[in-house]
Amino acid sequence: MPHADRSVHGAILLAAGGSQRLGHAKQLIEIDGEPLLRRTARALLATAPSELIVVLGHAAERMRAALDGLPVRTLLAAGYASGMAASLRAGIAALDARCAGALIALTDQPALDAAHLTALRDAWRTAPERAAASAYAGVLGVPALLPRAWFARIAHLEGDVGARALLRERAGEVIAVPAPALARDLDTPADLAKDWVCP
């Protein structure tokens, strides 16, 4: 098995959820004519990951269609309906062994861009044994680049628990990268902008 390379990261886009509170798939909401899923995938690819794994579940075929033509690998998370942990575990388990870290992102942060993701990657590369996480609304959250040393802990997560729980547990091992705009996410119809197109 190849050893992890301290300069190599993989990217994981968690896109399996059913968006129950919103009422339709947030991954497919269009901003400037592009689905959020595709928009986020392109931003992750701009960080030059070893690979981008997109974890799917709800409406998987529609999601694959939205990613058409992008150099991504999709996988279906068994048990995705049980919560975010199942998707995160599936993505981490599928990651190339050469990756010393995993850049984790969701599809519900419309302000997310490639510049912030690249800043996370660069911060992590200064200390690959630590995590680099987005700081907004008084918390450390995703997107975040988690070091390989944390992967074993992720394998034991259950329910609707994701990377934020680990970042809270290990706050002393995290490089914070400010991103105040990411405090806005998409959970309910009130969060939608008038000029966005819903699926």
- Strand order of the β-sheet with 139-147 is 73-76, 52-56, 5-15, 99-106, 139-147, 131-136, 174-178
Q: Give the separation between CA 69 and CA 77, rounded to whole angstroms.
A: 22
In a domain, 175, yes or no: yes
Nearest to 48 by CA among 1, 118, 104: 118
Q: How confident is the model over 15-57, as pLDDT tens digits?
A: 997 655 554 578 888 888 999 999 999 999 999 999 999 999 9
Q: Rounded distance, CA 102 to CA 45, Å?
A: 13
C-beta separation of 18 from 87 below 8 A: no
Residue 193: pLDDT band (50, 70, 90) is low
Query: Is 151 within 8 Å of 102 (Cβ atoms)?
Result: yes
What is the band of 6 on the pLDDT scale with cuts at 50, 70, 90? Answer: confident
Dihedral angle, C-alpha 155, 79, 140, 154, nearest 10 °: 0
**Residue 127 within any structural domain of the chain:** yes
DSSP state, 38?
Answer: H
Look at residue 152 and tell me whether its pLDDT is greater than 60.
Answer: yes
The boundaries of the domain holding residue 42 are: 5-191
pTM score of the predicted model: 0.91
Measured between its terminal Cα atoms, the distance across the chain in Å is: 43
Number of domains in the chain: 1
Residue at 49 is within a domain: yes
CATH number at residue 183: 3.90.550.10
CB 173 within 8 A of CB 126: no
Q: Is residue 198 part of a domain?
A: no
- Which segments within 17-157 are labelled E, that is strand? 30-31, 34-35, 52-56, 73-76, 99-106, 131-136, 139-147
Mean of all residue pLDDT scores within the chain? 89
**97 within a domain of the structure (yes/no):** yes
User: Residue 185: its pLDDT value, please?
Assistant: 74
Query: CA-to-CA distance for 35 and 100, rounded, in angstroms?
Result: 30
Is 85 part of a structural domain of the chain?
yes
Q: What is the C-alpha separation between 135 and 87, in angstroms, rounded?
A: 23
Q: What is the mean pLDDT of residues 126-130?
A: 96
Q: What is the DSSP letter of 24?
A: S
